[in-house]
Structure formats: structure tokens, C-alpha cells
């Protein structure tokens, strides 16, 4: 299955499917310092990711706990990766690595860290005025 196209591309292509193009939610963009309870590695990745998400207007108040969970999982993954390299029982640590990578992937999708994930960060609510025009233009009176 192909990932969804960003709304901008669908509009440029003329919205061939004539399905409604989702509009982004209108939430306040925030810039926050990392929580005090996350560890040092998590704080470092928080500062990198949060500044990028803030710069493109994607970091919202509702995303802060998900971002904290992502950063904390990243810190755990980093620690386990080092243990997998130096430990005699590398397989055990590699399984933990895979577990944390899966968690990071799921959390990154929620945060919209890839372009296709960002297309899912929109609202399916439609403006009643747009619906009226859509009906009128489609001939469904």
C-alpha cells in the first residue's frame, strides 16, 4: 500500500479522486524545554527534534508527552545498542534494540517525523461552507 500523498501534492494534481482533502488541525505551536524527569541522552534528542518540529509548525502542546516518550525510548535504544556491541550476550541486547526501534517507529509516526506521517496529522472535520460548494459543484442538490 502506498503512503498517502501530502495535501499540497493532491491539490496540485487536481484532486483526481474528488475526495475531501483533510485540513490540518488549528492547534497552538509551542516551544518547551525538555521535562526534568527524562535522562541526559533523551534531553539532547528532545532539543534537536523539538526545534525542528517547532520550526515547521508541527510541535503542539498535545504532542509533548509523546515527544518525551520518543526521546526516552531513544535514550534506552542508544544504551542497549552500546551494550549489544560490548556484551558477550549480544543476541539478548539485539532483541531489546529491535523492541526499542519498533517503539520509536510507532512514536515517530504519531509525531509526524516523516513526510508521509505528517499527512496523517490532519483533521477530517469539514467546513460547512466547503461542503455546500462541493455539493453544488458535483450536481448533488
Report the chain's mean pLDDT, rounded to a whole number: 80
Residue 3 has pLDDT above 80, yes or no: no
Q: 13: which 3 cell numbers?
A: 494534481
Q: What is the DSSP letter of 23?
A: B
Compute the chain's Rg from CA coordinates: 20
pLDDT at residue 123 in the model: 36
81-123 pLDDT per residue, tens = 988 888 887 788 888 999 999 999 999 988 888 777 777 654 3
pTM exceeding the 0.85 threshold for the entire prediction = no
Is 60 in a helix, a strand, or coil?
strand
| Residue 41 buriedness (CB in 10 A; 0-12 / 13-18 / 19+) | middle
- Burial of 101 per CB tally in 10 Å (0-12, 13-18, 19+): middle
Mean pLDDT across the stretch 34-56?
91
Domain layout of the chain by residue ranges: 58-113
Amino acid at each position: 500500500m502506498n503512503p498517502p500523498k501530502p495535501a499540497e501534492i493532491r491539490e496540485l494534481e487536481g484532486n483526481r479522486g474528488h475526495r475531501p482533502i483533510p485540513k490540518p488541525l488549528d492547534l497552538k505551536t509551542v516551544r518547551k524545554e525538555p521535562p526534568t524527569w527524562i535522562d541526559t541522552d533523551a534531553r539532547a534528542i528532545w532539543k534537536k527534534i523539538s526545534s525542528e518540529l517547532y520550526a515547521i509548525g508541527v510541535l503542539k502542546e498535545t504532542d509533548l508527552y509523546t515527544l518525551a516518550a520518543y526521546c526516552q525510548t531513544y535514550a534506552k535504544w542508544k544504551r542497549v545498542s552500546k551494550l549489544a556491541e560490548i556484551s558477550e550476550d549480544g543476541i539478548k541486547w539485539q532483541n531489546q534494540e529491535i523492541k526499542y526501534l519498533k517503539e520509536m517507529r510507532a512514536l515517530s509516526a504519531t509525531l509526524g517525523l516523516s513526510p508521509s506521517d505528517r499527512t496523517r496529522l490532519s483533521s477530517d472535520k469539514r467546513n460547512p461552507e466547503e461542503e455546500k460548494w462541493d455539493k453544488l459543484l458535483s450536481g448533488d442538490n
